[in-house]
Amino acid sequence: MKAGDLGELALRNLREAVLRNSLTTLGVAVGVASLVAMLSLGVGLQELATRRLSNSGLFDTVIVTARRNMQGMRRPAANPAPAKPERALDDDARSEFARLPNVLEVYPQMRFPTEVRYNGNPYSTIVAGVPDSARGNGSYDGIQGSFFSGPNADEAILQIEFAKDLSEQTSTLIGKELVVRYAERQALAPQNGAGNGSGADAVDGGAGGFSIVPREKKLRIVGIVETEPAAGFGGFGSGRLLIPLEVASALRAAQVNDLREAVRATAGKPAYASLTVRAKSPAQVEAIETAIKSMGFGTFSLLDATRNLRLFFTIFDLLLAIFGSLALAVATLGIINTLVMAILERRREIGILKALGAADRDVKELFFVEAGVMGLFGGVLGVGFGWFIGRALTWGTNIYLHRQNLPSAHVFSVPWWLVLGAIVFAVGVSLAAGLYPATRAARLNPVEALRYE
């Protein structure tokens, strides 16, 4: 029989027992909805976690340091390969990194110890420079107060524990001023012709060395955060007092690597202890890391952690899919039941079809198409139901989050591949369910079928 005729006859047959077939299709729809809801929840949570972690700067970040030759600490190899010359992590390198594909921004790690004076009391802590790009990436979504008003604003954001050291009523700190005491590097003139002696520009780590001068800076507190995003990654400790990166750079505060850089010849150019290279997405971190390594620098990223995250969510999604499939398995039994009942009811009709020239294959295909159509309609309906369940879940979750004073979140995502996959899966499962009834119908003896009343 031609495909068009097969489809027409199948639809006609489905219409004849419309209530039973609708209920069976509804069963498939519920099964698919359960599957879609579960998987969408898994996908949504994965996206949420990835987005939040990406925003935290942990997973889209490569920390670049100058490669150190530490072979003196180890036993030398029998035939040691010649060591690559060490490259300085200077502005030239910074520009090269910025030109790499998929690099969003490159900025230096600015962390230095300081003494904060507030209400006449001294507090030792660590200052960290925050790039202005952190403003829109969600890292500071839960901030009490606000982010810096501008990249050069003399403002500070406090980590909550540090804020508690300053005042028990942390909310009262916002708008208040504090004083930061820090050690500023000041350039020294080059000695014995070392370096190029280009004055103040060559001071930071330049061949001329530097002296330390105590300085003070007044800052206004604008916000309080739970933790510093990316705390402890790429620095020597978490910053408890955050200031705009450009302000931190302008302070020329002495950092931990300054002593080492002072004794190294860097052609008079400023050298950084480390640079942070941010990728457009975590997926591009690996390529960027490889490119930077090939330039002769050391790198560090949390790539393995993102791999583990993907592994975790793959297993999580698999488990959700298994639970979601249980309802579909029940629906499959419904299809088998419906089609077996149809065979009993249409036994005589099958006999007539065979007497009129229908081959076993025609009868089998007819039942297959009926099962497939129920699967198709069930799949489409199920995706719709699943989507509604997801919307309801998101709505309910956001009400709960709102009551907990937490920002709203999309815990549910229905990507296009899930929509298509669920419909194809529903049709596939329905066809598999139709296999036994269709084969049974095809094997009916026409003479016996015609005798059936």
Partner 1 sequence: MTTGDGVAVRAERVSRHYRMGAAVIRAVDEVTLEIRAGEFVALLGSSGSGKSTLLNLMAGLDRPTGGAIFANGRNLSGLSSLELARYRSRTVGMVFQSFNLLPRMTLEENVELPLRLAEVDRGERGARVQEALERVRLEKRLTHRPSELSGGEQQRAALARALVNRPTILFADEPTGNLDSATGESIMLLLKEIQQKLGMTIVMVTHERPLAERFADRIAALADGKLLTGGVES
As measured in angstroms, the least distance from the Cβ of 1 to partner 1 is 6
The nearer residue to partner 1, 9 or 100, going by C-beta atoms, is 9
Residues in the chain: 453
3-state class (DSSP) for residue 18: helix
Distance CA 286, CA 290 (A): 6
As measured in angstroms, the least distance from the Cβ of 356 to partner 1 is 5
**Residue 20 near residue 341 (C-beta atoms within 8 A):** yes
The nearer residue to partner 1, 335 or 366, going by C-beta atoms, is 366
As measured in angstroms, the least distance from the Cβ of 377 to partner 1 is 20
The nearer residue to partner 1, 358 or 371, going by C-beta atoms, is 358
Nearest of 216, 214, 185 to residue 202 by alpha carbon? 185
As measured in angstroms, the least distance from the Cβ of 441 to partner 1 is 14
- Tell me which H or E stretch contains 19: helix 18-55
DSSP string over 207-269: TT-EEEEEEEEEEEEEEEESS-TTTTSSSSS--SEEEEHHHHHHHTB--TTHHHHHTS--TT-
The nearer residue to partner 1, 6 or 432, going by C-beta atoms, is 6
The nearer residue to partner 1, 5 or 91, going by C-beta atoms, is 5
**Residue 202 near residue 174 (C-beta atoms within 8 A):** no
The nearer residue to partner 1, 435 or 450, going by C-beta atoms, is 450
Q: Within its chain, how far is the Cα of 174 from the centroid?
A: 32
**Residue 111 near residue 237 (C-beta atoms within 8 A):** yes
The nearer residue to partner 1, 1 or 422, going by C-beta atoms, is 1
As measured in angstroms, the least distance from the Cβ of 25 to partner 1 is 20
Rg (CA), the chain: 34
The nearer residue to partner 1, 14 or 230, going by C-beta atoms, is 14
- Tell me which H or E stretch contains 439: helix 416-442
Side chain identity, residue 332: T
Angle between helices 18-55 and 303-345 (to 10 degrees): 180
DSSP string over 306-346: HHHHHHHHHHHHHHHHHHHHHHHHHHHHHHHHHHHHHHHHT
Residues that bind partner 1 (CB under 8 A): 1-2, 4-5, 9, 12, 16, 348-349, 351-362, 445-447, 450
Distance CA 193, CA 254 (A): 24
As measured in angstroms, the least distance from the Cβ of 8 to partner 1 is 8
As measured in angstroms, the least distance from the Cβ of 446 to partner 1 is 5
The nearer residue to partner 1, 81 or 344, going by C-beta atoms, is 344
Q: Where are the beta strands (DSSP E) in 342-408?
A: none
Show the tokens assigned to 30.
């519920």
As measured in angstroms, the least distance from the Cβ of 369 to partner 1 is 13
The nearer residue to partner 1, 182 or 367, going by C-beta atoms, is 367
Nearest of 188, 185, 202, 200 to residue 254 by alpha carbon? 185
As measured in angstroms, the least distance from the Cβ of 346 to partner 1 is 10
The nearer residue to partner 1, 285 or 366, going by C-beta atoms, is 366
Side chain identity, residue 57: G
As measured in angstroms, the least distance from the Cβ of 427 to partner 1 is 24
Nearest of 327, 335, 325, 326 to residue 433 by alpha carbon? 335
CA dihedral 71, 72, 75, 78 (to 10 degrees): 60
As measured in angstroms, the least distance from the Cβ of 386 to partner 1 is 34
